[in-house]
Chains A and B, each alone.
Chain A
Amino acid sequence: MKSTAFSRRSLLASTLGSALAGMVWLDHAHAEDFKMGLLVPGSVAEEGWNRIAYDALKRVEKELGAKISYVELAENPAAFEKAFRDYASQGYQVVLGHGFQFQDAALTTAEDFPDTVFLISSSSVHEGKVIGLNTDASQPFYLMGVIAAKMGKGAGLIGGMEIPPIAHAFEGFRKGAESVNPDYPVSTVFINSFTDASAAKEAAVSMMAQGADFVVPNANAAGLGVIRAAQESGTQSGTFSVYSDYTDVAPKNILGTFIADYGQGIVRIVSGIRDGAMPQSNVDFGLKDKDVIKFTFNDEAARSIPQDLRNHLEEVSAKIIAGEIQTRAK
């Protein structure tokens, strides 16, 4: 059964291969072009996950002079492999599958197209030219944990849902806080929503009533409720702005802002591939990638982070980058 499938596949591949050869021969003038394809799981017209990849693709076009193409696939796994094959067979050097769900289809396709690099978002795969890309939020959250434990009495974390990126981030926060004070109280609430700013706010209010003076959101737009709660409780409560800059909402309470410019990371990796620098493992963007992970301090905050703590954070960052500190279990 398997051999039948395999021979069918190789037949298909050889057919495609000859078609490709024909195309390349006919279209010889453009054979040198650098081409990047993108598979997104939804509409790129909306702000959010799909738009990040689309914007990165447009930057690849503008900054690297690449020919680009993208295809929007609804959650339809049957179409994933076909889309990968379409791009690979047309000689695209890089194809980005924007989401973990594209990983299996890329692995299957890659067997037949050794010249194409397949990048997969939110994945830690590394098999041949299939390379996972990820942002590791546990590293900046580790620094937040250090800050909270050095400056406060207790912290409350408010998450949208317990999905891996959020669970990893909170793990980093706890580890950071524990590194300063093993008994530092950190509590966690999941509101089971990314839109319910009211629930996020009430969760933060109740945490502060129970002694937390740091409340940290990780719940997309609902996190605004947490920042609002900190702002209303007075200048002694601290918080961090996560993934978006909300400093205007609570300029006195936000001690730092963490932004992940994943699009910039994609552009950098793709330009490396164009210039022959293949990543030698899966890519985990962390504090070492200062163009992607940006963690900045707010000098306007009522309890702005003191200079000696900033120096300490520099040292901690250096240790995280050097791999001496693990911010989460691998």
Chain B
Amino acid sequence: MDDMMFLTFLATLAGAAWRLATPLIFASIGEIFSERAGVLNIGLEGTMLVGAFCGFAAAFATGSIPLGLLAGIAGGMLFGAIFAFFTITIKADQIVVGAALNLLGMGLTAFLFRTYYVSTGKGIEIAQPVQIPFLSDIPFLGEAFFRQNLIVYSTVLVAILASLVLFRTSFGLTLRAVGEHPKAVDVAGRDVASYRYAAVLVGTGLAGLGGAFLTLGHSNQFVEGITSGRGFIALAVVVFARWSPIGAFFVSLLFGLFYALQLMLQAQASIVVPYQVLQALPYIMTIVTLVVVRGKGAAPSKLGQPYEMR
């Protein structure tokens, strides 16, 4: 590979990494809200699927991408409301409800898709890459970072906003307290359940948005099971990022980078490594990094535990 080829390779890689990271960034930041308030929602995969389907259906009906994105968020939140009702109000086991919602999300979206949209090929117009004057024209760098669509760019904004809300507002402080010491919040006169509801709804709304990106910002079509395990990877991202939104942004990017890298390396005829090894690359990378950056866990102390008022 000569130098020009190599630069093209890197630019394509960086662009692909960001696009592949986008759904992970939304979903993992959403999950951070939820977990910071002490609610472990493993139903991300199902929630993302619902978001992907609702986004597709709305955009298909109206032809509008913003409406599709809103529908994706709303679908995610509606799904999250079911989760919140069972785990916060009824105090059912969060793992069991989450697993049930994953199954429900897969089954429900597949059923609805087959019932209403099964004819193959009918797609929607997806969000187009936005050309930024000057920046998009920089050789290689422009290709890598400045020819994405608005949904991809918005991940930066979402990460910064999430961080500000969690760590710089009164709402964020109380939300985190609910995950660490709900009794103190209760004694201070604030309703633990309301904060947990809010956290779950913000989280599932973002997960729905992450799912909707797949159908509205990447593929122009809903495919059964299109999330393909991204909801579960997002759960790992949260732990890896130590429950920090900015951290989740970069960990997701790292994961996207390795995923894009393995796709590109497989296509290189000159590389003789078996493709199965390359496919395992993102997962090997995850394990290695977890070992390298190990340290004291930062998990919210009441994660996964329902709050019993006395």
Contact = CB atoms under 8 A, between A and B. Distances in A.
Contacts of A324: none
Interface string B239-267: 00000000000000000000110011011
**A191, A195, A209, A228: which has the most chain B beta carbons within 10 Å?**
A209
Interface string A245-279: 11111000000000000000000000000000000
Contacts of B224: 195, 221
Given A197-B221, A198-B20, A206-B260, A248 B121 contact: yes
A246 to B, nearest CB: 5
Interface stretch (A104-112, A182-190, A287-295): A182-190
Main secondary structure of the interface of B (DSSP, over half): helix
B142 interface: no
B219 interface: yes
B16 A205 contact: yes
A210 interface: yes
A159 to B, nearest CB: 10
A66 to B, nearest CB: 29
Q: Chain A: interface secondary structure?
A: mixed
B82 interface: no
B8 A224 contact: no
A172 B23 CA distance: 36
Interface in B1-50: 5, 8-9, 12-13, 16, 19-20, 23
A326 interface: no
A47 B219 CA distance: 22
A185, A198, A203, A207 pick with most chain B CB within 10 angstroms? A198
Interface string B212-235: 001000111101111010000000
B118 interface: yes
Given A189-B263, A199-B228, A205-B16, A247 B118 contact: no
Given A203-B267, A206-B12, A206-B13, 6 more contacts: A47-B114, A197-B223, A202-B16, A202-B263, A206-B260, A225-B219
Interface of B: 5, 8-9, 12-13, 16, 19-20, 23, 114, 118, 120-123, 214, 218-221, 223-226, 228, 259-260, 263-264, 266-269, 275, 279
